[in-house]
Structure 1
Amino acid sequence: LFLSQATKQFLEEINKWTSQHGVSPLSWDVAVKFLMARKFDVLRAIELFHSYRETRLREGIVKLQPHEEPLRSELLSGKFTVLGVRDPSGASIALYTAKLHHPSKTGNHVVLQALFYLLDRAVESFETQRNGLVFIYDMAGSNYTNFELDLSKKILNLLKGAFPARLKKVLIVGAPVWFRVPYNLLSLLLKEKLRERVQMVKMSDLRQHLPRDCLPEHLGGCLSLDNTSIHVPGPEAMGLAELMAHLNRAQRSGIYLEYEELRREQPPGTFTCALAVHNQERNRYGDVLCLDQTRVRLKRSDYINASFMDGYKQKNAYIGTQGPLEKTYGDFWRMVWEQSVLVIVMTTRTDEGGRRKCGQYWPKEEGGQEVYGHIAVVNHRVDKQAHYNQTTLELHNTETFEQRQVTHFQFLSWPDYGVPSSALSLIDFLGAVKHQQQWAVQAFGSQWRGHPLGPPMVVHCSAGIGRTGTFCALDICLSQLQDVGTLNVCQTVRRMRAQRAFSIQTPEQYYFCHTAILEHAQRRGLLSTNQ
């Protein structure tokens, strides 16, 4: 009740100002963001709102265009990163890498635009609003030509009082000797309360502030920022007009040849565990195996035909797996429980063309209950849509007496080896899945301490490579398109096949990824039909 009253009071005051100045009124969600940053002290939140607004005006940061130069290049430079993990208290961790900044090439204005854009994205998460932000100013390996006192002042001033996030600490790491004098100047500028939170730390002492699994490898942690697996924009990324030109030039036959080249590349790993005699009966198909390097390991029986797959800027965004066999139902549900899965995506029917494609591994009817190993599954509700069913399941762990809700999506309009009858129906389905994942992560709250986008989504078809790979490739490409306005289907599929071997099973599915993206773009008005 108190939080609701504080939000109403804040909105009344701010929207008096917005109406006087002809500015759009603030939404409830934005109001909560400013209030949480100031522990629901209304007057301090109002002061923060005006400080934020004035800073943006002063720095000319009115409308951010992430798909346009020069901001696009700055976002792709890797200078700013919001890490895909949280600290033990649940705070987001943002990293600024000083050695990547070259003042002679990039003005302060663009750097601050990129910082605003990425921090704005980070504090969209309720968890970050509630638990705050840790900012690592990484000076390791930088020299005097990478440094600009005015920019450093602006970054710290922005963090100290002009950004709607609860700043927990700023760690200046690996500062060279010459930085001590500018740092003394900077510390004089900071309010006493913030000065305690801004600390210069040696690289070797960083682990006293953050555990290893919250730090990148180059700062002594075990978090990989390696771009070879996590999907990030690469130099070959293309805009929508380029994608359409590529498709028009190559035609279907050229895209099929592109797929054939990918298909010939050998998977970069081994299949030792999947080929072990005692595990072979757990594989639905003898020629669809999971790589040792990316397989999901169960805590007890260890083996399941399932692979971790990275998403767009997110490690282990998906678990790609086969349609469960009767003998693996218990393994499947144990994996769902152990990996804190909130959403299961099934892109097949149980039977197709008179052949069993997947076991009925969940209670199908509303009110139905089944026990699989030590996980009891209850079907609470089935919502039937035109192209898919959405089932709300409740899981009960009979060993720990905990319970959890999982949403099961089954897409019904996709034949095996083929492509969906409607690309847009699949993209709408993908939208529903992502919306549910987002809602479930918020509901899960502080129980989840990993990537802000949540635990992995389980995605499966029959073999777990064709329709599964197509679904994940579309999600990755459309996420990148939304973020920076570019994508690269070939690069995405190549990286995906390095984690779930043989992902995307046919040239038709590969071609479909291209045409589905363009259909989506045309529907959204991102690409005119005469381009």
Structure 2
Amino acid sequence: CIADGISPATKQFLEEINKWTSQHGVSPLSWDVAVKFLMARKFDVLRAIELFHSYRETRLREGIVKLQPHEEPLRSELLSGKFTVLGVRDPSGASIALYTAKLHHPSKTGNHVVLQALFYLLDRAVESWWVFVWFRCQSKSEKSVQPFACWLQGAFPARLKKVLIVGAPVWFRVPYNLLSLLLKEKLRERVQMVKMSDLRQHLPRDCLPEHLGGCLPLDVHSWNLQLLSEQNGRVDPVDELVGIPLENTSIHVPGPEAMGLAELMAHLNRAQRSGIYLEYEELRREQPPGTFTCALAAHNQERNRYGDVLCLDQTRVRLKARRNERSDYINASFMDGYKQKNAYIGTQGPLEKTYGDFWRMVWEQSVLVIVMTTRTDEGGRRKCGQYWPKEEGGQEVYGHIAVVNHRVDKQAHYNQTTLELHNTETFEQRQVTHFQFLSWPDYGVPSSALSLIDFLGAVKHQQQWAVQAFGSQWRGHPLGPPMVVHCSAGIGRTGTFCALDICLSELQDVGTLNICQTVRRMRAQRAFSIQTPEQYYFCHTAILEHAQRQGLLSANQ
């Protein structure tokens, strides 16, 4: 955490590397970039430094600097469909990337351009400890695999789990043997040639595209187009020295500074409330790593409930284009969860003028659960519109989505409402569960931490049940589509709820957690998440109360 300083490994790495950057008159590395290199080498500082220089030298040697992704020939290569990252992860949480070698035509595209595209895309895809890559190798040229040799030799800041070469033709044996000779022994063991019929032994069906025997629809262009769209108008990170990626690692995974419960308790006892407040103040001072151009556009400002609570361009949810509409804007942000991309959509309490946009987003993102952590009115002020039919049997139409209230179950601290959505354009229908937590004052914390954690448990149970009921209609991450979470502004109570879910998920998975890192990463996606030091402190005490109730931590520790 902030009070303890960054980890010794990260500090040592930054000191050594930034000596080099200062000598060469270039920008120093950020903490997040340093961690990326260290993670790739299991926090062995010397090996991470070696990797940094190998990566830098490779990019300089291969001319992978000052990339222009919107100019030819790189743009065409990026959109060729050869390389894409799937929207799911394997059961261990590894990213899955697909390179379709049969789409490579050496007579049309040189290896230099292929390598440029590969580095550009991988820099933006690597968000976890492991990258899981396989090639579908049906090209008629052995040169189609050469661009990967330098990466496989260890010139890229990622920990490669496995390479599966699927459906390789007979002629590929010679270049495969040559490629193997270039690799270190540990890497060589991770590269395998696999028959199409045996692929399911390595990956479950829900992690494979349809053309490889799985159930995922594969759109090889959408991910690449999204990257280019997000990059448009921004200075590419590769213009800084050698292309060191400056983006934040956002998916929440265990890190080197993670704490066990006993360590968390000791840290809280040592820091006390005032020390935890200081940690929060340090986080609060960090500027959001992005821009707010779309949210600040004149024609979008009326869609923001609060003028100072805006969406980052890099993580905002985009409504699908419709005829005669000027904007795709809604004040909503994708937020990653524990080992899950886009686990949440953090958003403001809908305004009356945005009810239609809200339900359109829910439909387009296949949302199954909505979490509301505010009342519509608090302290005589309107905090959120009544955007759903409140009474059982009620029905309302919002844009082209009709919403019917089938049932309201009232619990001690929350209401659970079963809603049925009808798309009046496609004549499809879908069930969504709406949860409203009632015991959480604005800018404050719940009177009972355990009541909120019980509420979180009910939400997660419903999400799990709904994903199972959704069946084959959902082909993304096993944990399902994003949950919509909102309060009034969509940052205070929303951020606290998501932070607790992430930390408790990590605690259940590996027995550790890092509240400071979690909040930092959240704020890089939904700016200003967790609005007060009291909410930040509450995250600590709520987790410890939960642990004591579960028998994970004795009351006298």
Q: Residues of 2 paired with 1:154 and 1:451: CA distance?
A: 30
SS at match of 2:499: helix
SS at match of 1:218: helix
Q: Residues of 1 paired with 2:393 and 2:316: CA distance?
A: 34
- 1:293 matched to 2:290? The reply is no
Q: Report if the CA contact (8 A) 1:319-1:457 is conserved.
A: yes
Shift of 1:224: 18
Q: Residues of 1 paired with 2:304 and 2:73: CA distance?
A: 50
Deviations 1:335-368, CA, capped at 9 Å, x for gaps:
0000000000000000000000000000000000
Q: Aligned in 2, Cα 1:82/1:416: closer, same or farther, shift over 3 Å?
A: same
Deviations 1:58-77, CA, capped at 9 Å, x for gaps:
99999999999999999999
Q: Aligned in 2, Cα 1:367/1:289: closer, same or farther, shift over 3 Å?
A: same
Q: Aligned in 2, Cα 1:182/1:419: closer, same or farther, shift over 3 Å?
A: same
SS at match of 2:67: coil
More off after superposition, 42-51 vs 340-349: 42-51
Q: Aligned in 2, Cα 1:36/1:437: closer, same or farther, shift over 3 Å?
A: farther
Q: Report if the CA contact (8 A) 1:76-1:233 is conserved.
A: no
SS at match of 2:508: helix
SS at match of 1:289: coil
Q: Residues of 1 paired with 2:31 and 2:278: CA distance?
A: 51
Q: Aligned in 2, Cα 1:190/1:452: closer, same or farther, shift over 3 Å?
A: farther
Shift of 1:530: 1.8
Deviations 1:209-252, CA, capped at 9 Å, x for gaps:
99999799999999999981000001010100000000000000
Shift of 1:200: 1.0
List gaps (5 residues or longer) in structure 2: 1-5, 135-141, 220-247, 321-325
Q: Residues of 1 paired with 2:265 and 2:48: CA distance?
A: 47
Q: Aligned in 2, Cα 1:217/1:501: closer, same or farther, shift over 3 Å?
A: farther
Q: Residues of 2 paired with 1:498 and 1:25: CA distance?
A: 20
RMSD (Å) for aligned C-alpha atoms: 17.7
More off after superposition, 57-66 vs 214-223: 57-66
Q: Aligned in 2, Cα 1:161/1:392: closer, same or farther, shift over 3 Å?
A: farther
Q: Aligned in 2, Cα 1:257/1:301: closer, same or farther, shift over 3 Å?
A: same
Shift of 1:501: 0.1
Shift of 1:85: 1.1
More off after superposition, 410-419 vs 93-102: 93-102
Q: Aligned in 2, Cα 1:218/1:445: closer, same or farther, shift over 3 Å?
A: closer
Q: Aligned in 2, Cα 1:520/1:159: closer, same or farther, shift over 3 Å?
A: farther
Q: Aligned in 2, Cα 1:174/1:351: closer, same or farther, shift over 3 Å?
A: same
More off after superposition, 37-46 vs 307-316: 37-46
More off after superposition, 16-25 vs 117-126: 16-25
Name 2:332's counterpart in structure 1: 306
Q: Report if the CA contact (8 A) 1:341-1:456 is conserved.
A: yes
Shift of 1:301: 3.8
Deviations 1:409-432, CA, capped at 9 Å, x for gaps:
000000000000100000000000
Q: Aligned in 2, Cα 1:4/1:455: closer, same or farther, shift over 3 Å?
A: farther
Q: Report if the CA contact (8 A) 1:88-1:449 is conserved.
A: no
Q: Report if the CA contact (8 A) 1:86-1:92 is conserved.
A: yes
Q: Report if the CA contact (8 A) 1:376-1:396 is conserved.
A: yes
Name 2:23's counterpart in structure 1: 20
Deviations 1:33-55, CA, capped at 9 Å, x for gaps:
99999999999999999999999
Name 1:368's counterpart in structure 2: 394
More off after superposition, 221-230 vs 164-173: 164-173
Q: Residues of 2 paired with 1:181 and 1:206: CA distance?
A: 22
Q: Residues of 2 paired with 1:9 and 1:490: CA distance?
A: 20
Deviations 1:471-491, CA, capped at 9 Å, x for gaps:
000000000000000000000
Q: Report if the CA contact (8 A) 2:251-2:339 is conserved.
A: yes
Stretches (4+) displaced over 2 A:
3-84, 86-126, 134-137, 148-151, 153-199, 201-227
Name 1:441's counterpart in structure 2: 467
Number of residue-to-residue matches in the alignment: 511
Q: Report if the CA contact (8 A) 2:18-2:28 is conserved.
A: yes
SS at match of 2:530: coil
Shift of 1:292: 0.3
Name 2:100's counterpart in structure 1: 97
Q: Aligned in 2, Cα 1:165/1:284: closer, same or farther, shift over 3 Å?
A: closer
Q: Aligned in 2, Cα 1:482/1:39: closer, same or farther, shift over 3 Å?
A: closer
Q: Aligned in 2, Cα 1:44/1:438: closer, same or farther, shift over 3 Å?
A: farther
Q: Aligned in 2, Cα 1:328/1:80: closer, same or farther, shift over 3 Å?
A: closer
Deviations 1:495-514, CA, capped at 9 Å, x for gaps:
00000000000000000000
Shift of 1:171: 3.2
Q: Aligned in 2, Cα 1:35/1:459: closer, same or farther, shift over 3 Å?
A: closer
Q: Aligned in 2, Cα 1:514/1:11: closer, same or farther, shift over 3 Å?
A: closer
Which one of the candidate residues 208, 216, 224 is aligned to 1:215? 208
Deviations 1:1-49, CA, capped at 9 Å, x for gaps:
xx99999999999999999999999999999999999999999999999
Q: Aligned in 2, Cα 1:114/1:387: closer, same or farther, shift over 3 Å?
A: farther
Which one of the candidate residues 399, 407, 410 is aligned to 1:381? 407
Q: Residues of 2 paired with 1:515 and 1:71: CA distance?
A: 51
SS at match of 1:407: strand
- 1:515 matched to 2:535? The reply is no
More off after superposition, 94-103 vs 292-301: 94-103
Q: Aligned in 2, Cα 1:285/1:167: closer, same or farther, shift over 3 Å?
A: closer
Name 1:150's counterpart in structure 2: 144
SS at match of 1:304: strand
Deviations 1:167-214, CA, capped at 9 Å, x for gaps:
999935799999989999999999999999997169999999999997
Q: Aligned in 2, Cα 1:258/1:284: closer, same or farther, shift over 3 Å?
A: same
Q: Residues of 2 paired with 1:242 and 1:523: CA distance?
A: 18
Q: Aligned in 2, Cα 1:95/1:499: closer, same or farther, shift over 3 Å?
A: same
SS at match of 1:335: helix
Shift of 1:261: 0.2
More off after superposition, 292-301 vs 326-335: 292-301
More off after superposition, 266-275 vs 116-125: 116-125
Q: Residues of 2 paired with 1:461 and 1:161: CA distance?
A: 45
Q: Residues of 2 paired with 1:478 and 1:269: CA distance?
A: 28
Q: Residues of 2 paired with 1:6 and 1:293: CA distance?
A: 30
Q: Report if the CA contact (8 A) 2:101-2:144 is conserved.
A: no
**Sequence identity of aligned pairs in percent?**
96
Q: Aligned in 2, Cα 1:452/1:191: closer, same or farther, shift over 3 Å?
A: farther
Q: Residues of 1 paired with 2:270 and 2:317: CA distance?
A: 40
Q: Residues of 1 paired with 2:37 and 2:329: CA distance?
A: 47
More off after superposition, 38-47 vs 16-25: 16-25
Name 1:145's counterpart in structure 2: none
Deviations 1:348-406, CA, capped at 9 Å, x for gaps:
00000000000000000000000000000000000000000000000000000000000
Q: Aligned in 2, Cα 1:96/1:249: closer, same or farther, shift over 3 Å?
A: farther
Q: Report if the CA contact (8 A) 1:390-1:409 is conserved.
A: yes
Q: Residues of 2 paired with 1:5 and 1:265: CA distance?
A: 21
More off after superposition, 108-117 vs 344-353: 108-117
